[in-house]
C-alpha cells in the first residue's frame, strides 16, 4: 500500500495544491484544516508522514508537533510562512525532520517527502509490542488480544497499562514490587501492596479475554510476564 500523508494546512488553495501533487506521485492523502483535527487524524490513521503548517487554528503547528513527538517517530515536514531563522531552529529543535518555506514549489515538497520516507523506512519503529496473543500499541496506548481468531480490546487504566507495558519489555523476567512502584506509579506515595491491587485488576481484565496465563505472581518477589502462553 502506498504511503499515507497527512496534510495539515488551513489555507484551502495550498492544501489542494499539495494534495494534487502528492496524489499524482502515488501517495494517499488526508487533510486537516486545524491543529486539533490534525492530532485526531494522526492518532486514528497513523499516517506515514505529516506536512504541518505552523500557523494553524485551534492548535498551532508547534503544539501539534510537540504532541506528535510525544506519541512517536512519525516523520514531520514543517511548512512555515516566514523565512526566519528562528522558525528553522525551532522546527528542528522541536523535532521536525525537515521544513519548507512558503511560497514553495510543490515539486520540491514532494521530493522531500519521498526522501524523508526513504530515510525513515531504514529505521525500525518499535511502536507495537507483541507477547503471545497480546498486542500493545505504544503510540495509541491501545491493548488488544487475539482470542480464538478475533481481536478483543482491553480497557485499561493508565497504571494498569504501565504495569503491563513494563512487564512486556521484555517478558520472561521477574519485576519486583518496588521496581513496579518506581516505574509505574511514579510520583505517588504508595505501599508496595498497592501494586498488588492494581495488578489484581489488570489480571482480571486479562482473564476476561482469556489471557490469564500471561502474568504470573512470583511469591514474595513480584510479577513476571510469560513470553510463551
Q: Which residues bind Ca ion (CB under 5 A)?
A: 10, 53, 55
Output 68 or 154, the one with its CB closest to Ca ion.
68
Output 10 or 19, the one with its CB closest to Ca ion.
10
Distance CA 115, CA 7 (A): 17
Sole residue written with cell 505529516: 50
Output 10 or 48, the one with its CB closest to Ca ion.
10
CB of residue 18 to Ca ion, shortest distance in Å:
12
Output 53 or 87, the one with its CB closest to Ca ion.
53
Q: How many helices (H) and strands (E) does the chain have?
A: 8, 12
CB of residue 8 to Ca ion, shortest distance in Å:
9
Q: Which residue of the chain is nearest Ca ion when measured via CB? A: 55
DSSP string, 129-169: EEETTEEEETTTTEEEEEETTEEEEE---HHHHHHHHHHHS
CB of residue 79 to Ca ion, shortest distance in Å:
8
Is residue 35 within 8 Å of 56, Cβ to Cβ?
Answer: yes
Amino acid at each position: 500500500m502506498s504511503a499515507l500523508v497527512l496534510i495539515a494546512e488551513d489555507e484551502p488553495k495550498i492544501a489542494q495544491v499539495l494534495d494534487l501533487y502528492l496524489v499524482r506521485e502515488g501517495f494517499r492523502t488526508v487533510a486537516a484544516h486545524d491543529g486539533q483535527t490534525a492530532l485526531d487524524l494522526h492518532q486514528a490513521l497513523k499516517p506515514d508522514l505529516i506536512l504541518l503548517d505552523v500557523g494553524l487554528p485551534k492548535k498551532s503547528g508547534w503544539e501539534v508537533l510537540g504532541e506528535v513527538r510525544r506519541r512517536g517517530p512519525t516523520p514531520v515536514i514543517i511548512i512555515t510562512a516566514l523565512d526566519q531563522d528562528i522558525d528553522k531552529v525551532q522546527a528542528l529543535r522541536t523535532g521536525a525532520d525537515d521544513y519548507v518555506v512558503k511560497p514553495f514549489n510543490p515539486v520540491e515538497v514532494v521530493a522531500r517527502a519521498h526522501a524523508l520516507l526513504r530515510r525513515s523506512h531504514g529505521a525500525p519503529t518499535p511502536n507495537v509490542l507483541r507477547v503471545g496473543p497480546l498486542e500493545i500499541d505504544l503510540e495509541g496506548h491501545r491493548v488488544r488480544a487475539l482470542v480464538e481468531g478475533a481481536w478483543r480490546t482491553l480497557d485499561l487504566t493508565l497504571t494498569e497499562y504501565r504495569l503491563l507495558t513494563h512487564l512486556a519489555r521484555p517478558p520472561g523476567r521477574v519485576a519486583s514490587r518496588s521496581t513496579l512502584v518506581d516505574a509505574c506509579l511514579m510520583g505517588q506515595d504508595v505501599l508496595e501492596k498497592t501494586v498488588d491491587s492494581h495488578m489484581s485488576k489488570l489480571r482480571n481484565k486479562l482473564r476476561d479475554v482469556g489471557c490469564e496465563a500471561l502474568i504470573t505472581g512470583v511469591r514474595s518477589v513480584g510479577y513476571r510476564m510469560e513470553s510463551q502462553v
